[in-house]
Amino acid sequence: MLPDHNGQIMVTYRCSAACRHCLVMAAPGQDEALVSVEAAVEYGLDFAALGRAVLIAGGEALLYSDHILRMAGALSAAGVPVAFVESNGSWCTSDGLTRRRLSLLREAGVQGMYFSVDCFHQEFAPAERVYRGISLSWELFGRENVLPSELSPARALEAEREARDPRSRRRAALSHVHFIGRAAVDLAPLAPPVSLAELLTQDCAADLDVDSLREIQVDPYGFVRPDWCPGVNLGNTATHRLVDLCRTEHVRQTPVLSEIAGRGPAALLPLAERFCITPQPAYASKCHLCFDLRRQLVEHMPLEFGPRQVYEVCRG
Ligand code: SF4
């Protein structure tokens, strides 16, 4: 089981895949910025102080497997072992390599693995590989420490078939995707349009109630945000301790954030107007509207809405 409250160290924007639903625009061509081992330990201690378990994710964190081993070892030595490493399993090309890498992670103190299996990931990660990663993780970490804890090879292959079927992808997009990141580009056109007027009535109080959020994320540039709202920054660790940013009280005290919490994307309209940015008449969702305005605002307000990597692939 994934713990109820998590702190995610998003190690990299780079990924072996470029899934259509990816909220953070991860891709093979994204730049190579990485969270350092020292920063990860500081973040891990702060997440622990907030009662949050530490997750390591990306992009695909295990593109940098030696770095992740050092990071996991340092976090364990500091008393904040990694609860889960998230992966798309694309690296699980043979039993030997997969078992070796998973064993090293376990020895470095990693307690569990979380593999993504769905019709978006399986467009890039062969079902056979991700099933290998999951089944060997069951063996090495115990099923209770692996997500998914149940999966048949047939279901993994079905996800791969769905990945090739536009109707299945549309169904998945409409059932559980936030239309931000690459989903704003690739999947939002599949959704029925909602008028701007209707979207402007929706607030984000629950989305920015940081104390109760399941997951908070810190990226390679030190930006801290709810993991569902990449680009809506609580702040940056270059100037603040993470422990001070990850609080609902901090949202209340920060004008841009408290406005967004209270009024939703409507709070971005005066900013957009200032820079001659005009919203479209309709969007797929409030988050799609929010993303579209921030994508154009980020050059003017990089601290509030950065980094650019959240909106486009930026080659290093
Ligand atoms: S509208 Fe923006 S701030 Fe509100 S939940 Fe969506 S991404 Fe987050």
Mean pLDDT by groups of 10 residues along the chain of 316 residues: 89 97 97 96 98 97 98 98 98 98 98 95 96 98 97 94 93 91 95 97 98 98 97 98 98 98 98 97 98 98 98 89
For 207, list phi and psi in degrees, rounded to 5.
Answer: -70, -25
CA of 207 to the centre of ligand 1 (A): 7
Q: Using a 6 Å CB cutoff, which residues line ligand 1?
A: 180, 204, 207, 229, 232, 260, 264-265, 286-287, 290
pLDDT given for residue 3 in this prediction: 80
- Final residue before a domain boundary, out of 127, 145, 176: 176
Atom of ligand 1 nearest to the CA of 260: 3
23 & 167 share domain: yes
Q: Is residue 1 part of a domain?
A: no
Atom of ligand 1 nearest to the CA of 204: 4
215 & 276 share domain: yes
Q: CA neighbours within 13 Å on the CB side: how many for 168?
A: 13
Helix axes 95-107, 65-77, angle to 10 degrees: 20
Q: Provide the residue range defining the domain that includes 303.
A: 197-310
Atom of ligand 1 nearest to the CA of 230: 7
Residue nearest atom 6 of ligand 1, based on CA coordinates: 287
Residue nearest atom 1 of ligand 1, based on CA coordinates: 287
115 & 201 share domain: no
By C-alpha distance, which of 52, 54, 47 is closest to 76?
54
pLDDT given for residue 315 in this prediction: 82
The pTM of this model reads: 0.96
Q: Is residue 159 part of a domain?
A: yes
Q: Is residue 237 part of a domain?
A: yes
Q: Is residue 185 part of a domain?
A: no
- Final residue before a domain boundary, out of 110, 141, 176: 176
Q: Is residue 316 part of a domain?
A: no
Residue nearest atom 8 of ligand 1, based on CA coordinates: 229
Atom of ligand 1 nearest to the CA of 265: 1
Q: Is residue 278 part of a domain?
A: yes
Q: What contacts 312, CB < 8 A, 6 or more positions away?
A: 25, 295
pLDDT given for residue 316 in this prediction: 67
45 & 169 share domain: yes
Q: Is residue 158 part of a domain?
A: yes
Calculate the alpha carbon distances from 100 to 93, 103, 105, 142, 164 in Å. Answer: 12, 5, 9, 16, 31
Calculate the alpha carbon distances from 154 to 88, 161, 270 in Å. Answer: 18, 10, 51
149 & 25 share domain: yes
148 & 279 share domain: no
201 & 164 share domain: no
* Count of structural domains within the chain: 2
Cα–Cα distance, 171 to 217 (Å, whole number): 28
CA of 57 to the centre of ligand 1 (A): 21
Helices of type H across the chain:
37-49, 65-77, 95-107, 127-141, 153-163, 166-176, 182-186, 196-199, 242-245, 248-253, 255-263, 269-274, 286-297, 302-305
Find the largest Cα–Cα distance for the chain: 58
46 & 92 share domain: yes
